[in-house]
């Protein structure tokens, strides 16, 4: 099967744009492939080894190397999480493997004050709370009430006790200058990485959406940086491949502020960050960011930057 041609039938403009970014046959083949199911064991609710043993009676597990021991691929394609007692009890949290990276890079500590600026549906928020041992405070924000309701349900199931849910435009938090120890901005995006979950993301993709999200992301990243304490860490991430939503947004922050980038060191295969796109040149500093294409680790596409405030 020619996977590039299959995508051309779905959305020709999507193929025209991203063939300029990565025209490896593997890129299109992996974008076409269904995602491997993956979960995080929730140590807020129980002992990791005990929960793992329960799961191994039903599934073959493979550890996800970039997590702190709690992330696993399930070697089965017909997992119905709704029927699993471990899911109902909040002992496991279904979460795409590459989406576990931003909280690992954020590295929150017990007792800290954390802002999760675009938190719904909340899998990363629960991961942050897990790393904090339910000690400290997470402001878990989402701009939409219906998404915030899903966030609350997921936090409750996971046994998160330290989250305060707010429904605000993320840029609202700019008024809390130098307040948060760490900020996660897992930004709304054009979701090219999520095509593996559902082809609707390929059908509905448009360049207009990319431009819209790039503008929104720049507004949010400035607010996120403003809300961060000096010495604090801001992690910016998206589940898309478009340079206008990734490198361009981080480059914009570097130009507008005194922000610095830190190199992300994790056991991951990555694709070189984009330093030039459509005639725009970006800072060499962006080599410190992580760009993941679907074929790199057989996951969703993702982009992650670790930013520090001097």
Catalogue the active-site residues: 239
CA distance linking residue 232 with residue 225, whole number of Å: 9
The angle formed by the CA atoms of residues 91, 301 and 113, to the nearest 5 degrees, is 55
Q: What are 183's two structure tokens? A: 């900020």
Burial 36-50 (b: 16+ CB within 10 A, else e): bbbbbbbbbbbeeee
Tokens of 158: 């996971």
Question: CB burial class (10 A; 0-12, 13-18, 19+) of residue 140?
Answer: buried
Q: How far apart are CA 62 and CA 43, in angstroms?
A: 18
H or E element: which one contains 255? helix 247-256
Taking the C-alpha atoms of residue 137 and residue 226, their distance in angstroms, rounded to an integer, is 19
41: three-class secondary structure by DSSP: strand
| Helix intervals (H) in 11-84 | 12-18, 25-32, 48-56
Closest alpha carbon to 161 in 195, 139, 134: 134
Task: Give the Cα separation of 279 and 15 in Å (integer).
Answer: 20
Q: What is the dihedral of CA 82, 87, 93, 95, to 10 degrees?
A: -20
> Tokens 């060499």 identify what position?
284
| 1 burial level (CB within 10 Å; 0-12, 13-18, 19+) | exposed
């Amino acid at each position: 099967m020619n996977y590039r041609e299959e995508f051309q039938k779905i959305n020709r403009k999507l193929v025209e744009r991203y063939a300029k970014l990565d025209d490896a046959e593997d890129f299109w083949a992996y974008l076409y492939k269904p995602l491997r199911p993956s979960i995080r064991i929730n140590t807020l609710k129980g002992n990791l080894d005990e929960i793992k043993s329960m799961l191994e009676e039903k599934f073959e597990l493979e550890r996800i190397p970039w997590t702190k021991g709690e992330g696993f691929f399930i070697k089965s394609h017909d997992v119905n999480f709704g029927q699993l007692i471990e899911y109902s009890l909040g002992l496991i949290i279904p979460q795409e493997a590459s989406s576990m990276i931003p909280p690992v890079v954020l590295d929150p500590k017990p007792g800290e004050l954390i802002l999760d600026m675009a938190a719904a549906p909340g899998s990363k928020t629960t991961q942050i709370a897990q790393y904090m041992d339910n000690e400290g405070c997470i402001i878990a924000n989402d701009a939409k009430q219906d998404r915030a309701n899903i966030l609350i349900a997921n936090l409750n199931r996971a046994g998160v006790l330290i989250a305060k849910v707010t429904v605000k435009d993320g840029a609202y938090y700019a008024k809390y200058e130098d307040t948060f120890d760490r900020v996660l901005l897992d930004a709304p995006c054009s979701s090219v990485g999520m095509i593996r979950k559902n082809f609707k993301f390929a059908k509905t993709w448009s360049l207009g959406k990319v431009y819209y999200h790039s503008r929104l992301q720049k507004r949010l990243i400035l607010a996120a940086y403003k809300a961060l304490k000096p010495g604090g860490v801001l992690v910016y991430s998206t589940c898309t491949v478009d340079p206008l939503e990734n490198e361009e947004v981080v480059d914009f922050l570097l130009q507008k502020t005194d922000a610095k980038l830190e190199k992300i060191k994790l056991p991951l295969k990555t694709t070189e960050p984009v330093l030039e796109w459509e005639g725009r040149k970006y800072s060499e500093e962006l080599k410190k960011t992580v760009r993941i294409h679907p074929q790199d680790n057989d996951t969703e596409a993702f982009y992650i930057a670790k930013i520090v405030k001097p």
